[in-house]
C-alpha cells in the first residue's frame, strides 16, 4: 500500500498531495494558496475558452494527458454552494469543457467531467480529464483515488441532484478519507495493482500498447 501519512486536517492534506494549480505563469503569486485559481483565470494568457459565465484553463499539474479546469466568473466556492438556479451555469461550464476536450481530438467518451468532493482550492471548478491518467504529475495514490472513486462527483450527478432537491449533500471527513484510502483498481480493466508504482506502469502500458479504455 505504500507509506501512509497523517494530517491534522484536510487542508493540510490537500496542500501535501494536490499538485494543483497554485498560480499560472505570468500571474502574481496569490495572497492565499487556496485562491490561486481566482488569480489564474484573470490572466488572459491562461484562458483557452471564455463565455459570459465561465472560463477554461489548463491544469498546471495535469493528472492525465489532457486535464482542463472550467471555472465560473461567479464567486462560488464549491458544489455545496450551488442551487437549482445554477444549473444553467453548470450547463455552460460543461459546454466549455467539451470544447476544450475536443482540442485533443479524442472521442468525448474518453473524458471524465466532475468535481472533487473536497476541493483543494477556492472557486468551483469542473475537471475535464482524459481517462488515461498518464502523467508525471499523478504522483500519489490519493491523486488516483481523487478521480477514480466517488470522491470525484460526476457532473451529470450534480446537475440531477440540483434539479431534484436544489443542493448537494456534504460528506463527512471520515468518509472522504475512506474514499481516498480505497484499494487501487485500474479504470480501464480489472487489474488490481499491489502498489501505486505498479498502477503507473500498468497505465503506461494502456497508452503505449493501445489497450482499449
Dump pLDDT digits (tens) for 150-187. 999 999 999 999 999 999 999 999 999 999 999 999 99
Residue 118 clears pLDDT 70, i.e. is over it: yes
Domains of the chain, by residue range, sit at 10-182, 185-213
**Catalytic positions:** 125
State the cell numbers at 135: 502523467
The rounded distance, in Å, linking the Cα atoms of 196 and 139 is: 8
State the cell numbers at 98: 467539451
Sheet with 67-72: strands ordered across? 49-50, 54-58, 67-72, 126-130, 111-116, 152-154
Fold (CATH) for 10-182: HIT family, subunit A (3.30.428)
Q: What is the pLDDT of residue 10?
A: 55
Helix (H), strand (E) at residue 54: strand 54-58
Task: Kindly report the pTM of this predicted structure.
Answer: 0.85
Amino acid at each position: 500500500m505504500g507509506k501512509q501519512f497523517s494530517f491534522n486536517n484536510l487542508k493540510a492534506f490537500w496542500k501535501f498531495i494536490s499538485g494543483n494549480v497554485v498560480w499560472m505563469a505570468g500571474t502574481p503569486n496569490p495572497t492565499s494558496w487556496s485562491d490561486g485559481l481566482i488569480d489564474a483565470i484573470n490572466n488572459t494568457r491562461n484562458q483557452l475558452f471564455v463565455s459570459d459565465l465561465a472560463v477554461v484553463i489548463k491544469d498546471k499539474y495535469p493528472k492525465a494527458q489532457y486535464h482542463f479546469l472550467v471555472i465560473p466568473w461567479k464567486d462560488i466556492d464549491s458544489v455545496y454552494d450551488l442551487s437549482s438556479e445554477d444549473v444553467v451555469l453548470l450547463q455552460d461550464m460543461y459546454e466549455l469543457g467539451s470544447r476544450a476536450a475536443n482540442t485533443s481530438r479524442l472521442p468525448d467518451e474518453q473524458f471524465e467531467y466532475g468535481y472533487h468532493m473536497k476541493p483543494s482550492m477556492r472557486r468551483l471548478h469542473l475537471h475535464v480529464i482524459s481517462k488515461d491518467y498518464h502523467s508525471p504529475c499523478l504522483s500519489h495514490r490519493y491523486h488516483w483515488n481523487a478521480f477514480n472513486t466517488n470522491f470525484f462527483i460526476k457532473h451529470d450527478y450534480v446537475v440531477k441532484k440540483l434539479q431534484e432537491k436544489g443542493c448537494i449533500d456534504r460528506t463527512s471527513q471520515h468518509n472522504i478519507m475512506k474514499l481516498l484510502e480505497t484499494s487501487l483498481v485500474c479504470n480501464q480493466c480489472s487489474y488490481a495493482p499491489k502498489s501505486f508504482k505498479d498502477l503507473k506502469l500498468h497505465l503506461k502500458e494502456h497508452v503505449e500498447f493501445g489497450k482499449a479504455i
